[in-house]
A and B are shown apart, each in its own frame.
Chain A
Amino acid sequence: MSCTLAFIGALLLLAALFYFGGAAVWRSAIEDTVAEEYEAVSAAFATRGQAGVKALVEERAVPVIDQGYVYLLQTPEGQKLAGQMPAMSPADGWQEIVPPRGEEDEPFIAKAGFLPDGTFLLVGHDARDLHEVVDLIEEGSVWILAIAVPLWLLTAIVSSALIVRRLEAINRLSLEIRRGRLDRRLPIGRRNDEFDRLASHLNAMLDGIQDLTESLRQVTNNIAHELRTPLTRIHNRVEAARRRPLSIDAAEEVLDSTIEELERLLGSFAALLRIAYIDAGTLRSGFKEFELSETAAALAEDFEPIARDAGKQLTAAVAPGLRFFGDKRLIVQMMVNLLENAIAHSGGDEILLSVESARDGIAVRVADNGVGIPEAERKNVFQRFYRLSKEGSSAGYGLGLSLVAAVAKLHRIGVALLDNEPGLRVDLSFPWPRGGLQYGQAAMGSDMVL
């Protein structure tokens, strides 16, 4: 409603602008013509005096006076000398006059003044064009209001009804979603207008929310299952101990195993919290540049004897001088997790760690020749508490690859799990630091693609 009022107001304002603006332009054009004629006639006084002016007026003042110029020349005493106008009481300056037999409502515009000897001269011109323009504007404004306002109202009603209907659809859907129907989606039209784009953005958001809820549900489930087994074990053990008198040795054994079990649980929680913390993304503010090559080489040295003790061989091929921008400690933890997986869980006996420059960053690879991960499982292994083999919990917390995924996401590192034929190959693609290609160039030498 207020919109309609504003529209009518604007229309009236526009009409007023036309009316006054247009009239003023026309009036000043007529005034220019009159002033010019006045100058021309009065100029004759300088050369030929009053008689010269009189002659000129007599020559120019045609008898037909409903349009064109009108003149009046009268003596200082008030006696008419020439012109179509009757004698009048002299007044200086611009005025509106009505010539004899002229229309009362269509006055002429005139300029009057005194010549040097006191003779009064008046020159006027009809303002018919001005009056026509004013009439036209007046008439036009009425028509505009009469036609445009209803037309606009109609458009407004129809289009707002359309908008309301589409908004109503969004509202209805939001309500359904709030009631738990997360699978509902907004219809998207073919016009690709603002509403269609809004709908597709909302749908994308809903997809994201649905994914998050699903993974949250999954994680909650996993955590509950993860907790139930050890808690049940602890409960049973302590309960059994409570039922009968215990020797010191037996009591110590019960307590030690309980502590061990609890420590595992706490460790599992610590890892879970750490992943959540990394996922929150706030760590990005602490990113620094560091030499990834050096870090990887040191890790290879650290884990080579561990692999050897486990009867396996860790080989490293690390290109020197490659730098990365990120959280070094998290990158270390990510690589340690991958190395530990390869050493402890892969079932293979050869592990390869390689770091080399690639076209758009640094390629880090951890590969083994073990049993690998079946293709269908590769998507799942990043889930929290997901384990390939269902039996037992000896194989770590089931959080190693979740942490890898979280650290990779934080650093925008690409992670690909591939078949090493046989075994698993984890390819990490570290992006170059933004605006920091020069580090790479300096480090890569001839390898650099320019």
Chain B
Amino acid sequence: MKILVVEDDEETRTYLASGLATEGFAVDCAANGRDALFLASGSAYDLIVVDRLLPGLDGLSLVKVLRGANISAPVLFLTALDGIDERVAGLDAGGDDYLVKPFAFSEFTARIRALLRRPPLTDQETVLRVADLVLDRTSREVTRHGQRIDLQPREYLLLEYLMRHSDEIVTRTMLLEHVWDFHFDPRTSVVETHISRLRAKIDRPFEVKLLKTVRGAGYSINDHN
């Protein structure tokens, strides 16, 4: 897996690159849009991390040019600009996800893994399965081991999101953004409370626990031990 990091601040660039290298990725770096364009047109990257504000050719324009040149690697925008229209502009330009600085490194890698593994057709699958847990997206029915489980609307959305990203680490921020549409950090334990309620329904009565807490990172639903 080869990742291109486009970031003008040297310290941040080194921090991201060495972190990604430790995680086992091959990493190339560029300090500005021009170099990034040159690198990206020369070799195929599995993912490109782009800082939103770059000297010269800025991040948005860079991604537009890349998309125009048929380079379709997923793009993760990094930005210090936190505003809803900033996010929209980033996604409109062809970005796939948007991460606001400052962020925890675990959040960063979770997003990268989610983008890399994003199966192209997940959104159209009607039945999601993890071991004996089944979620039917047409009837909105959830069963485990054949037993029907009643979920509140939010619990259903939470489970659906986790199952769409089964085997991946899903961070608290990702859940807030995608399940609650909260683009801020609530002070109360919204995520934790709902996770524990969901657990009580899908895991507690069963021997094998599927919904796992990944310390310091987030949650993951899978049937590995």
Contacts and interface: CB of A to CB of B under 8 A. Distances in A.
B190 interface: yes
Interface stretch (A27-35, A194-202, A295-303): A295-303
B75 to A, nearest CB: 22
A302 B154 contact: yes
Contacts of B187: 340, 344, 396, 400
A396 B180 CA distance: 21
A155 to B, nearest CB: 58
Contacts of A277: 82-83
Interface in A242-298: 263, 266-267, 270-271, 273-274, 277, 282-283, 285-286, 298
A302 B194 contact: yes
Given A266-B102, A277-B82, A305-B197, A333 B188 contact: no
Given A267-B185, A302-B194, A344-B188, A273 B82 contact: yes
Contacts of B184: 271, 274, 333, 336
Given A301-B154, A302-B154, A327 B186 contact: no
Contacts of B85: 282-283, 285-286
Given A277-B83, A283-B84, A301-B152, A309 B193 contact: yes
A434 B85 CA distance: 23
A270 B82 CA distance: 8
Given A298-B154, A301-B153, A333 B197 contact: no
B173 to A, nearest CB: 12
Interface string B115-131: 00000000000000000
A302 B82 contact: no
A55 B84 CA distance: 107
A329 interface: yes
A285 B83 CA distance: 13
A327 B84 contact: yes
A402 to B, nearest CB: 13
Question: B182, B187, B194: which has the most chain A beta carbons within 10 Å?
Answer: B187
Contacts of A340: 186-188
Contact of B180 (A270, A302, A400): A302
B181 interface: yes
B83 A336 contact: no
A332 interface: yes
A441 to B, nearest CB: 28
A186 interface: no
Nearest to A345: B187
B181 A329 contact: yes
A366 interface: no
Given A329-B181, A336-B182, A305 B194 contact: yes
B189 interface: yes
A306 interface: yes
B130 to A, nearest CB: 24
A305 B193 contact: yes
A343 interface: yes
Contacts of A274: 82, 184
B113 interface: no
B100 interface: yes
A332 B82 CA distance: 17
Given A305-B197, A306-B193, A333-B182, A343 B84 contact: no
B183 interface: yes
Contacts of A283: 83-85
A281 to B, nearest CB: 12
Given A270-B82, A301-B152, A329 B183 contact: yes
A301 B158 CA distance: 14
Contacts of B189: 306, 309
A285 B86 CA distance: 13
B84 A336 contact: no
Interface in A286-342: 286, 298, 301-303, 305-306, 309, 327-329, 332-333, 336, 340
Contacts of B183: 329, 333
A283 B153 CA distance: 30
Nearest to B103: A266
A327 B83 CA distance: 12
B182 A286 contact: no
Interface string B59-100: 000000000000000000000001111001000000000001
A271 B85 CA distance: 17
Interface in B205-220: none
Interface string B163-195: 000000000000000001111111111100110
Contacts of B153: 298, 301
A306 B195 CA distance: 12
Nearest to B86: A277
A210 B106 CA distance: 46
A301 B100 CA distance: 28
8 contacts: A270-B82, A270-B102, A301-B153, A329-B181, A329-B182, A332-B182, A340-B187, A344-B188
Q: Which 8 A-B pairs have the closest CB atoms?
A: A266-B102, A340-B188, A306-B193, A333-B184, A340-B187, A396-B187, A306-B188, A305-B193
Given A298-B153, A336-B184, 6 more contacts: A273-B82, A274-B82, A286-B85, A301-B152, A302-B190, A340-B187
